[in-house]
Structure 1
Amino acid sequence: MKHALIQAALAVTLAAAAAAPAGAQEAAGDGKALFMKNCAACHQPTGKGIPGAFPALANSKFVQGQGNEVASVLLKGRGGMPDFSESLSDSEIATVLTFVRSSWGNKANGLSEADIGALRTTLGVEPFGNAVMSNKH
């Protein structure tokens, strides 16, 4: 059942990304727009997630914890969550995490593009754009 929910959410995300207007690239610097495009299908626009399938990001101790731990999930994936290392730049990952870490009752410091780049190196994750198939989502 959980696998079916993950598959359905990924299908919705892919359909939404395909239907994005041409000006969507202009919204790349906007954390909320990036969240809505890449995260909201699973974690919901409210950040409350789907109990038993996708964790809540709202009022989350994990989200408000160590920035590197939160960023590692986006760079390497975890559980049923895919990694976004090939589909989001370091700047975009920093922007979306800064939005999430300061929304829905969360009160944590943001992350910078340099933070994400350094973490990529530490984790041994290829630099954005070096993959054979970029934008795998």
Structure 2
Amino acid sequence: MKEVLIKAAMVIVATFAAAVSSPSRAQEMDGKALFMKNCAACHQATGKGIPGAFPALAGSKFVQGKGGDVATVLLKGRGGMPDFSDSLSDRDIATVLTFVRGNWGNKADGLSEADVTALRAALGVEAFGNSAMSNKH
């Protein structure tokens, strides 16, 4: 009986551990998928960019700096970089930035959907899904 209880406890612990770790793994996969779909053409799958054309994200001090500064680029664009305010939700922006800020040697904290939503409001960028023509890319 004791062995059965120990095995049952181990199964419960393993199931709980898998459930707890799944959201972050799922978010990482979602972040990678979003990056590949929206960013990799310019910044490359490796995050190394194309010198003279598209900046590297890997090892970038800017990318690892203030999360709000990086999110502002996605919400408003900068230089040749388009804004993604109409084509990515606040959750998607937070997810892709969390992926970028934590990969290729980058070691910055991620952003939450609430962080991006608050920044969008502070910048006066229209809420996602409110424009007549979404997805301008």
Q: Which runs of 5+ in 2 are unaligned?
A: 1-26
- Could you tell me how far 1:51 is from its partner in structure 2? 0.2
- Could you tell me how far 1:132 is from its partner in structure 2? 1.1
Partners of 1:90 and 1:45 in 2: CA distance: 22
Partners of 2:50 and 2:33 in 1: CA distance: 20
Partners of 2:37 and 2:70 in 1: CA distance: 19
1:41 corresponds to 2:41: yes
1:99 corresponds to 2:99: yes
1:32 corresponds to 2:32: yes
CA RMSD of aligned residues (A): 1.1
Aligned length: 110
Question: For 2:62, what is the secondary structure of its paired residue?
Answer: helix
1:76 corresponds to 2:76: yes
**Match for residue 135 of structure 2?**
135
Percent identical: 81
Q: Which has the larger radius of gyration?
A: 2
Question: For 2:63, what is the secondary structure of its paired residue?
Answer: helix
**Match for residue 14 of structure 1?**
none
Question: For 1:51, what is the secondary structure of its paired residue?
Answer: coil
Moved over 6 A (4+): none
- Could you tell me how far 1:111 is from its partner in structure 2? 0.1
**Match for residue 119 of structure 2?**
119
Partners of 2:71 and 2:103 in 1: CA distance: 16
TM-score, normalised via structure 1 length: 0.79
Partners of 1:125 and 1:38 in 2: CA distance: 20
Partners of 1:79 and 1:135 in 2: CA distance: 19
Q: Which runs of 5+ in 1 are unaligned?
A: 1-26
